[in-house]
């Protein structure tokens, strides 16, 4: 069987997770009557230190729901370079919320100074008002780097002072917590709204949540319905999330070690560049120098030898570790990769 390092979304629900799903008590969630969904929302809200949370089908819908809840058409939103909300949501932000993005910083990170340099005033005759700043933690295209918490605190404090709301795209906030040793509540505290995904490292088949203040989440509830994301007996899905919080959270540390292992093998190959300092979680992005095979070639050759990866640019490749690949799989994958890059 192939070693699938394309994404942590490829994970399969385990037999135990499926059992928890099959046994889940359910009700009509649109009436607020699904006990499993309610329990999951309460647990996530508590973990994140927020008043309320809302279960949605995907991370994209979580981000889009948050965006719609906190902006008006014509608003300006500050985002990091290559953010998911900018590059991976099919233009939804422009189509659904009518916002424009200003991209700030580099490598997926930015600072309070970047925020101040790009934050546009409210009530200005010509400029679009900046009403939201979003931070992705960990940053996918930034090689899974954890956004420095002191920068988050400084940016969100400044945002608050300027009447700008703050959104954390925490699709991999569980990874950020394990990697940094900071609790989910500490990571979430500076933000008005936080999204987290169950279908990445936690290994659930479906689901994300949006968390924040109760009144904001009530508005988000309506937005979810507008986007067609209201669900009924969704407790079957929520039960997978409840299971994952109990059994799949602490083990993310293994994924991080495995990513490190891959990175440390690849960095020794001439013509391969990896910023080892940024390999802090379960994502390894490496670049191939001119004269080396390009990303598409490496990915095709690796596939023939049973290792699946994603092309992330002309000369950039991404590998992601997760609960369905073991340490041995990762060592083997790194050897195969070293082989196909060098040949």
Stretch that binds ligand PLP, among 15-23, 36-44, 58-66, 309-317 (CB under 6 A): 58-66
Is 199 an interacting residue with respect to ligand PLP (CB under 6 A)?
yes
Is residue 52 exposed (0-12), middle (13-18) or buried (19+ Cβ within 10 Å)?
buried
* Residue from 29, 34, 136, 254 binding ligand PLP (CB under 6 A): 136
Q: Interface with ligand PLP by CB under 6 A: which range of 29-37, 197-205, 249-257, 294-302?
A: 197-205
> What SS3 class is residue 197?
strand
- In this complex, which beta carbon is closest to ligand PLP, that of residue 240 or of residue 269? 240
Between the CA of residue 86 and those of 64, 77, 89, 119, 181, what are the distances in Å?
A: 11, 10, 7, 17, 28
Cα separations (Å) of 136 from 149, 203, 288?
A: 12, 20, 25
Token pair for 176: 């950020």
Query: C-beta of 10: minimal distance to ligand PLP in Å?
Result: 12
Residue 300 per-residue DSSP state:
H
Q: Do the beta carbons of residue 241 and residue 204 sit within 8 Å? A: yes
What span, in angstroms and rounded, lies between the C-alpha atoms of 161 and 163?
6
Among 11, 36, 41, 60, interactor with ligand PLP by CB under 6 A: 60
Question: How many other C-beta atoms can be found within 10 angstroms of the C-beta atom of residue 267?
Answer: 15
The footprint of ligand PLP on this chain (CB under 6 A) covers a number of residues equal to: 13
Binding of ligand PLP at residue 171 (CB under 6 A)?
yes
Which span sits near ligand PLP by CB under 6 A: 24-32, 55-63, 231-239, 310-318? 55-63
Based on the shown chain and the rule CB under 6 A, indicate whether residue 197 belongs to the binding site for ligand PLP. yes
Closest to ligand PLP by CB, 193 or 292: 193
Binding site for ligand PLP (CB under 6 A): 58-60, 63, 84, 136, 140, 169, 171, 197, 199-200, 208
């Amino acid at each position: 069987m192939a070693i699938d390092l394309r994404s942590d979304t490829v994970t399969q629900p385990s037999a135990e997770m499926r059992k928890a799903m099959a046994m889940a008590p359910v009700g009509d969630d649109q009436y607020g009557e699904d006990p499993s969904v309610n329990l999951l929302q309460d647990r996530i809200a508590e973990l994140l230190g927020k008043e309320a949370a809302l279960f949605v089908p995907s991370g994209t819908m979580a981000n889009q729901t948050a965006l719609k809840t906190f902006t008006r058409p014509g608003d300006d939103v500050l985002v990091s370079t290559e953010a998911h909300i900018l590059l991976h949501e099919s233009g939804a932000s422009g189509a659904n919320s009518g916002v424009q993005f200003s991209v700030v910083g580099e490598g997926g990170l930015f600072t309070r100074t970047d925020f101040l340099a790009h934050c546009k005033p409210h009530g200005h005759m010509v400029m679009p008002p900046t009403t939201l700043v979003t931070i992705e933690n960990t940053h996918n295209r930034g090689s899974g780097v954890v956004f420095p918490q002191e920068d988050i605190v400084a940016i969100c404090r400044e945002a608050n002072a300027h009447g700008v709301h703050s959104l954390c795209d925490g699709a991999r906030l569980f990874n950020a917590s394990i990697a940094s040793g900071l609790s989910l509540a500490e990571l979430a505290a500076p933000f008005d709204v936080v999204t987290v995904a169950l279908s990445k490292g936690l290994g659930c088949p479906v689901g994300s949540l949006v968390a924040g203040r109760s009144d904001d989440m009530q508005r988000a509830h309506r937005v979810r319905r507008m986007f067609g994301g209201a669900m009924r007996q969704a407790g079957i899905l929520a039960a997978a999330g409840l299971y994952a919080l109990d059994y799949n959270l602490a083990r993310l540390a293994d994924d991080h070690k495995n990513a490190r292992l891959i990175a440390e093998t690849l960095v020794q190959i001439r013509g391969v560049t990896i910023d080892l300092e940024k390999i802090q979680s379960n994502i390894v992005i490496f670049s191939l120098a001119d004269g080396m095979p390009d990303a598409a070639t490496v990915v095709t050759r690796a596939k023939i030898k049973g290792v699946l990866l994603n092309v992330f640019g002309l000369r950039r490749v991404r590998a992601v570790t997760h609960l369905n690949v073991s340490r041995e799989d990762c060592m083997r994958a790194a050897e195969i990769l070293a082989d196909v890059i060098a040949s």
